Amino acid sequence: MTGEHLLLGVTGSIAAYRTPDLAASLRREDFEIKTVLTRAAEQFVTKTSIVSMSRGQVYNSKDALTYVWHPTHIELADWADIALIAPATAATIGKLACGIAGGLLCETFLALRPEVKKYLAPAMNGHMLNQLSVQRNLNQLSDDGYTIIQPRTGELACGYEGQGKIASVKEIVTTLVINTMD
């Protein structure tokens, strides 16, 4: 693998604090990275920290129509070879499963070409993760071609113990690297 274009989406989960480390690890694997932060993600991580660690461009909702002649979401979707949302919240998972283009991140992911490899690394409270609706949405996205990088079991930010903790940076990077060798 050399220089593949990786679109990294970051949603509003406390697990977003791991994104700078994830971005640095992906960069070290020779991915060229562009990142899209949701408005909620910016409560947990800054554009500056992602730019510093990924050495790539970072976009947020303010960048949605940078070019009137070529909307940002189409430009980003056309650029990507691989697309990852880490962390992926229940809200974003639900929007994507239903085809709802709310915000730059969902708009971009819905505009991805069919050959783009798509990944989700969910992170949420275990009760949320186990809701039938969330499981149905994950199954739908899996059927639609997304690879789900399963969350781990452990202490969650809400204080509960259980499944819902985002996969480790190493697990996420390994999954992407192995799947790009195909």
CB atoms within 10 A of CB 61: 13
Q: Domain ranges for the chain, please list them.
A: 5-180
Q: Which residues contact 28 (CB under 8 A, 6 or more apart)?
A: none
Element (H, E) at 147: strand 146-148
Domain covering 5-180, topology: Rossmann fold (3.40.50)
In order along its 182 residues, the chain shows pLDDT tens digits of: 457 999 999 999 999 999 999 999 999 999 999 999 999 999 999 999 999 999 999 998 776 655 555 688 899 999 999 999 999 999 999 999 999 988 999 999 999 999 999 999 999 999 899 999 999 999 999 999 999 999 998 888 888 888 889 999 999 999 999 988 76
- The tens digit of pLDDT for each residue in 150-176 reads 999 888 888 888 888 999 999 999 999
Q: Do 118 and 163 touch, CB atoms closer than 8 A?
A: no
pTM: 0.93
Catalytic (active-site) positions: 158
